[in-house]
């Protein structure tokens, strides 16, 4: 399906769930973008969970984000229980203006639901020549090293910056050793996991995806170093923004798909502020250096390839996807 057609279809589905026009457009574009670029776990696969959550009244689909602007470079937004992407969309013009005026600014979103990939939040800034770094926390499914009680979310971090003559350099990675969805896939397909992926219900290291899913938990990537990053993402996404920690998400009244209400931190900076240092050219040169040194694939390469394929042949959708989507119309 052509990208624009998929966006229109998803927008209709969201409007049908009672979302305001702008909210429906933002979520539809985000979801279609993930599907287009091969991020299928954040693509149309998520529509039933969106619908379940919206119908259940968990969170606040009618939320209109409230921007708290005191004229500085730290802009706070109360998402009012709505989706973080909508809060970012609402605050973007002010954030851009503040970066233009000052060189660096931060957006701190709280009371927000983030139910998608993080890279779509940062990539557009890189396309405008800016550097963006964002982190978001979620629900506690990751134990600290040596622990048995989950305290961190899969807590992704994403980074984007311009790269002359190439697509922006963009990455988005969980601070858990593996994405939760990949553990579910391994369990379904009967695969064992790499050492260091997770622990069982007793806190013992395990390579059994079933043990991780049944009372166990994931570990941070990269041992203690990854744990520092996971904890810092909690601090920036929740303590700094005023959002909930991953352990504080209150599921007691939760009726729909599990979408945590937490926070998001986003730093945007202008690399050309103070004179042209050839930033985008140097990032391109560094990318070439890293490829020449032997790293076959840089973050984002696969996404770019699939995006080009989608542009040429349409966004891939299975018959089951189509049937599911049409069922909501």
Q: Facing residues of 199 across strands?
A: 205, 217
70 in active site: no
Say if residues 32 and 99 touch (Cβ distance below 8 Å): no
Binders in 10-39 for a copy of itself, by CB under 8 A: none
The alpha-carbon radius of gyration of the chain (Å, integer) is 20
41 in active site: yes
Site string for a copy of itself, 51-80 (x = CB under 8 A): -----------------x-x-xxx-x----
Considering only 13-21, 32-40, 166-174, 312-320, which stretch makes contact with a copy of itself by CB under 8 A?
166-174
236 binds a copy of itself (CB under 8 A): yes
314 binds a copy of itself (CB under 8 A): no
For a copy of itself, which is the closer residue by CB, 215 or 242?
242
Candidates 9, 47, 95, 106; binder of a copy of itself (CB under 8 A) is 106
Candidates 120, 153, 198, 271; binder of a copy of itself (CB under 8 A) is 271
42 in active site: yes
- Minimum separation from the CB atom of position 151 to a copy of itself (A): 5
304 binds a copy of itself (CB under 8 A): no
Residues that bind a copy of itself (CB under 8 A): 68, 70, 72-74, 76, 101-106, 108, 131, 143-151, 159, 161, 169, 171, 173, 203, 221-229, 231-232, 234-236, 238-242, 245, 247, 267, 269-271, 273-274, 277, 279, 282-283, 286, 289-290, 292-296, 298-299
């Amino acid at each position: 399906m052509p990208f624009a057609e998929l966006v229109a279809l998803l927008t209709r589905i969201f409007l049908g769930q009672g979302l305001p026009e702008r909210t429906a457009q933002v979520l539809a574009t985000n979801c279609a973008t993930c599907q287009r670029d091969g991020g299928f776990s954040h693509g149309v696969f998520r529509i039933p969970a969106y619908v379940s959550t919206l119908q259940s009244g968990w969170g606040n689909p009618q939320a209109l984000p409230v921007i708290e602007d005191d004229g500085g470079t730290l802009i706070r937004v109360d998402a009012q229980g709505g989706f973080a992407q909508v809060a970012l969309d609402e605050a973007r013009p002010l954030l851009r203006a503040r970066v233009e005026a000052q060189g660096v600014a931060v957006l701190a979103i709280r009371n927000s639901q983030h139910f998608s990939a993080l890279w779509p939040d940062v990539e557009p800034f890189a396309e405008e020549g800016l550097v963006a770094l964002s982190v978001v926390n979620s629900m506690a499914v990751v134990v600290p090293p040596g622990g048995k009680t989950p305290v961190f979310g899969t807590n992704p971090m994403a980074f984007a910056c311009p790269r002359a003559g190439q697509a922006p350099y963009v990455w988005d990675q969980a601070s858990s050793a593996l994405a939760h969805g990949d553990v579910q896939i391994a369990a379904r397909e009967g695969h064992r996991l790499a050492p260091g992926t997770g622990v069982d219900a007793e806190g013992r290291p395990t390579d059994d995806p079933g043990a991780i899913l049944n009372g166990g938990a994931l570990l941070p990537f990269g041992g203690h170093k990854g744990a520092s990053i996971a904890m810092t993402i909690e601090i920036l996404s929740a303590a700094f923004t005023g959002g909930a920690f991953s352990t504080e998400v209150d599921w007691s009244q939760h009726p729909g798909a599990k979408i945590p209400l937490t926070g998001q931190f986003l730093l945007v900076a202008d690399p050309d502020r103070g004179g042209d240092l050839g930033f985008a050219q140097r990032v391109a040169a560094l990318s070439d250096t890293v490829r020449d040194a032997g790293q076959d694939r840089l973050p984002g390469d696969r996404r770019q390839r699939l995006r080009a394929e989608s542009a040429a042949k349409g966004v891939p959708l299975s018959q089951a996807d189509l049937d599911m989507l049409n069922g909501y119309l």
